[in-house]
Amino acid sequence: MKAAMLYGVNDLRIEDAEIPKVETGEVLVRVKAATTCGTDLKIFHRGYVEKVIKLPTIFGHEWAGEVVEVADNLDWPVKGMRVRAGNSAPCLHCAMCQKGKYNLCENMIWLWGAYAEYIKVPARMVLVNMQEIPPHVSFEEAAITEPLACVLHGAEEAGVKLGDSVAIIGAGPIGLLHLLAAKKMGAEKVVVIDLVDERLNCALKLGADAVINSGNESPVERVKQLTNGYGVDIAIEAIGLPVTWEQALKLVRKGGTVLEFGGCPPGTDIRVNAELLHYGEVTVLGAFHTTPLHFHKALNLISSRTIDVRPLVTRKVKLEEIRQAFELLSTSKTEIKIAVNP
């Protein structure tokens, strides 16, 4: 089969690979769509994320497809079924899983290999993180279950609720998914901050109440103006840079919550003013990845179009064009997610 193999920074090659063999509990799926993700782009440009990916590997982690082979011991799924799965499966019995923190599982398995004609789903993942896709939902939409699941987990941790004002730093795919989720969770006002006007226009189209180009004006001052001088109830950082992690702290009112969502490079420190936490009672949260529960919720919300992810797929390409797709994502101001159809 054809597969896009990642060897290192900026080194992605289309190669012939063996079609994986199905063993006990496993399922082989013909990939129909795999979507690009900010995490892919970071790994492509910056290098691998320890524990989460080992190189060389077939790249890509957001996908959906059709079941072509099922291990003999399984009654579900069946051949021909449209499914999505992964990209993680917790063990359910480590100390973190026993605390209900499935996203922090000590023995998490990760599945890479979406940018290929076939992908094999490990037994544990078939059990805890595979779903059938309803007929009216496209493979491209279903592939977006993964980032939406991460966003739902973060938004729930931050406690976005009816009537809240929310500021989101970053109008990339994750920031835009946060916008869609926050509006559905009842946010009264969502302000989106970015450096690129084209992305801010996209945020406006998707329902942002106000946008701020931080290259032209101070987000801190403008957010204060928009909130009677107080700051927002919840600020969400969706970029992954120390400067914006620190900026998020300045956008919230007293008693507000900051969700630091974008992953910074390893070894990053940020400065937090102690008065802000003490006198200001600001809560600062991190959020990592997501849980099987949120994967299920995400696909259900995509299926019912409660959260309509269709506008996020701005282009479809063939597997052979994947390098160009990554280059385009790095330079274009209008591309959000590109769907690869192997």
Binding residues for Zn ion, rule: CB under 5 A, are 37, 39, 62, 90-91, 94, 97, 105, 146-147
Least distance to Zn ion, CB of residue 173, Å: 8
* DSSP E strand boundaries for the chain: 2-8, 11-16, 27-35, 57-58, 62-70, 82-85, 88-89, 109-110, 118-121, 130-132, 165-169, 189-194, 210-213, 232-237, 252-260, 283-286, 313-318, 337-341
Least distance to Zn ion, CB of residue 47, Å: 17
Q: Which is nearer to Zn ion, 263 or 280 (by Cβ)?
A: 263
Which DSSP symbol is given to 260? E
Q: Which is nearer to Zn ion, 113 or 147 (by Cβ)?
A: 147
Q: Which is nearer to Zn ion, 95 or 243 (by Cβ)?
A: 95
DSSP-assigned beta bridge partners for residue 27: 70, 121
Least distance to Zn ion, CB of residue 80, Å: 26
Residue 251's closest CA among 188, 168, 160, 334?
168
Residue 214's closest CA among 280, 257, 167, 273?
167
Amino acid at 132: E
Least distance to Zn ion, CB of residue 38, Å: 7
Residue 269's closest CA among 232, 306, 298, 242?
242
Least distance to Zn ion, CB of residue 258, Å: 22
Instruction: Using DSSP, state whether 342 is helix, strand or coil.
Output: coil
Q: Which is nearer to Zn ion, 43 or 193 (by Cβ)?
A: 43
Task: Give the distance, in angstroms, between the CA of residue 150 and the centroid of all CA atoms in the same chain.
Answer: 5
Distance, CA of 318 to CA of 177 (rounded, Å): 25
Least distance to Zn ion, CB of residue 64, Å: 13
Q: Which is nearer to Zn ion, 32 or 289 (by Cβ)?
A: 289
Q: Which is nearer to Zn ion, 104 or 204 (by Cβ)?
A: 104
Least distance to Zn ion, CB of residue 254, Å: 34
Distance, CA of 268 to CA of 230 (rounded, Å): 29
Q: Which is nearer to Zn ion, 39 or 244 (by Cβ)?
A: 39
Which DSSP symbol is given to 276? H
